[in-house]
A and B are shown apart, each in its own frame.
Chain A
Amino acid sequence: MTLYFYFLVFPGLLFAAVSGGILSWFDRKVTAWVQFRKGPPFFQPFYDFLKLLLVKETIIPTQGSGAVFLMAPVIALFGATMSAVFILLAAFGINTGFTGDVIVIFYLLNIPAISYIIGAMASGNPLASVGASREIKLIISYELTFLLVVAAVIFKAGMSISLYDIIQAQADHAFIGSLSGIILFIAAIFCIQAKLGLVPFDIAEAETEINHGSFIEYSGSAYAIILLTKYIMLFTLPAFIVVLFMGGLSVTGMGVVYSILKIIAVVLLITLIRNTNPRVKIKQAMRFFFIWMNLLVIIAIVLMWFGL
C-alpha cells in the first residue's frame, strides 16, 4: 500500500502537482512584478487546470492518429511523476537503497519532452511538426550538457550513483560551495531552462511565431494533462538541482524552511533569466549548448580533478 501512497500522494502526483502549481503561480507573479504588473491571483494555476479538465471539451484531429495523440500527454505525466517520486524520496532523506537511481532519473526526465514530440507529430498540423522538429533539436543540444553535469556531480560525490549517497556526501559542505560546483550549477540552470521550455529556449512552443508550436492541436482535458506535467516538471527539476548541489531537502523543523527557500531561490533564478532576455533562434541555442556550455562543464571537471 505504501507504494501507492508514495507514487500517488506524498512525493508523487498530488504533492508535486500542488507544489508545482504554487511555483508556477510564483513564476507568473514574479514575471508580472518585473513588468510592473499585478499578476494573477494565487489559485490561478489550479483554476486553469480545472477549467481545462472539467469545463472544456477535447477535440481529436482526424488528420493525425487520435490514439497516439491522446496517449502522449499521459506518458508525459507518467514520466514526470516517476521522476518526481525518485528525486523527492532521496531528497527527503528516505533511503530507498536503489543505487542506480541517478541514471534512471536522468532518463525519466526525458520522457515528457519526447512524448511532446510524439504528440505534436501525431496531431498532423504543420505548425506542430515544426514545433516538434525544434524540440528534437533542442533535446539533442542540452542533453549532452546535462549528462556531463550529472556525471561531474557523481564524480564529485565519490563515484556513487545513488542520490542518497550524493546527499550524504554533501553533509558537511554542499557541492555548490566549491568553484567547480558553481560552474556546474550555472550549466545545470541553463539545462533546466531548456528542459522546461522557458523563454530563452522556448523555441519549440514559440507562442508568437508558431503559436504554441507542438501544443497547437491540444484542447480540453488533453491540454490539462500537459499543463499538469509542466507544473510537476517545474517542481521536480529545481528539486533535482537542489539535491545535486545544495544538499537535498529536509522535513525536520527548521530544515523545512531552508529547503523551501532553496527551491524558491532556484525558481526565482529561472524566472529572472526568463524575463531578462528574448528568445534565441534554434541555431543559436544549439551552438550555445554545444560549444559554450560543454566547454564550461569540462573546465569544471578539470578543476574538480585538481581537487578544487
Chain B
Amino acid sequence: MSFKEHIFKKSLWLFHYGGASCNNCDIEILDCLTPRYDVERFGIKLVGSIRHADVLLVTGSINKKDKERLLEIYKQAPKPILVVAMGACGCTGGIFAEGNTFAGPVDKIIPVDAYIPGCPPKPEAILAGIVKLVNRRNGK
C-alpha cells in the first residue's frame, strides 16, 4: 500500500472549483504556478477536466446554485480524490456566511480532507496546506 501512497504523493493533479468567491483565492492558486512559487517542482499540475483530477480544490462560499454543481463534480471525480477547502469562504463561508443565498460551508456538502484558511491565503500557505495534506495521507 505504501508504494501506491508514495506514487500518489508524488503526482497530484489539481482541479479548481470556484464557488461564489471574490476570486482572490483563485488568483492565488494561479500564483502558485508562477515562477516564484512553482508547484510543478512537487509534480503538482492544474488540469482542465475533472476526470484527470486527484485533488479537488474548492474556493469561495457555496451558494444554493453552486451546491448541485459541487455534488455533481464530486461524483464525477475518479476516486481516490482529496478535497481541499480553500480560503475563509471555503472553510466557513467567511464574510458571506449570512448572505441570503449561502448554502453552507464546503464540509457540509462534501467530505473535506484539508482546510487552508486565510483571505486570501498566501501561496506559501497553500503549499504548506498541500504538503500537510499529502503527509497526512499515510495516516488514513
Interface flag for A56 (CB, 8 Å): yes
For chain A, the count of residues having a C-beta within 8 Å of the partner chain is: 32
Q: Which residues of B contact A28 (CB under 8 A)?
A: 40
How distant is the Cα of A44 from the Cα of B11 in the complex, in angstroms? Answer: 7
Q: Which residues of A contact B7 (CB under 8 A)?
A: 47, 50-51, 54-55
Q: Which residues of A contact B4 (CB under 8 A)?
A: 54-55
Tell me if A218 and B51 are in contact (CB < 8 A): yes
Tell me if B52 and A212 are in contact (CB < 8 A): yes
Tell me if A41 and B80 are in contact (CB < 8 A): no
B: contact size bracket: 20 to 34
Query: C-beta contact mask, A39-82 vs B, less than 8 Å → 1, else 0?
Result: 11101100110110011111100000000000000000000000
Q: Give the distance to chain B from A204, nearest Cβ to Cβ, in Å.
A: 14
How distant is the Cα of A13 from the Cα of B27 in the complex, in angstroms? Answer: 41
Interface flag for A223 (CB, 8 Å): yes
Q: Give the distance to chain B from A193, nearest Cβ to Cβ, in Å.
A: 21
Interface flag for B69 (CB, 8 Å): no
Q: Give the distance to chain A from B135, nearest Cβ to Cβ, in Å.
A: 17
Once A50-B7, A54-B4 are accepted as A-B contacts, the answer to whether A223 and B52 lie under 8 Å apart by CB is: yes
Once A38-B41, A50-B7, A54-B4 are accepted as A-B contacts, the answer to whether A220 and B47 lie under 8 Å apart by CB is: no
B40 partner, pick from A37, A47, A50, A218, beta carbons under 8 A: A37
- Chain A, range 28-42, C-beta contacts under 8 Å to B: 28, 32, 35-41
What 7 additional pairs, Cβ within 8 angstroms, besides A47-B11, A48-B43, A220-B78? A41-B10, A51-B8, A57-B79, A212-B47, A215-B49, A216-B51, A219-B52
Q: Which residues of B contact A40 (CB under 8 A)?
A: 40-41, 43
Nearest 6 interchain pairs by C-beta: A211-B48, A219-B51, A47-B11, A47-B10, A36-B35, A219-B78
Q: Which residues of A contact B40 (CB under 8 A)?
A: 28, 32, 37-40
- Chain A, range 143-201, C-beta contacts under 8 Å to B: none
Q: Give the distance to chain B from A269, nearest Cβ to Cβ, in Å.
A: 22
How distant is the Cα of A152 from the Cα of B48 in the complex, in angstroms? Answer: 41
Interface flag for A208 (CB, 8 Å): yes
B54 partner, pick from A32, A38, A39, A56, beta carbons under 8 A: A56
How distant is the Cα of A56 from the Cα of B11 in the complex, in angstroms? Answer: 12
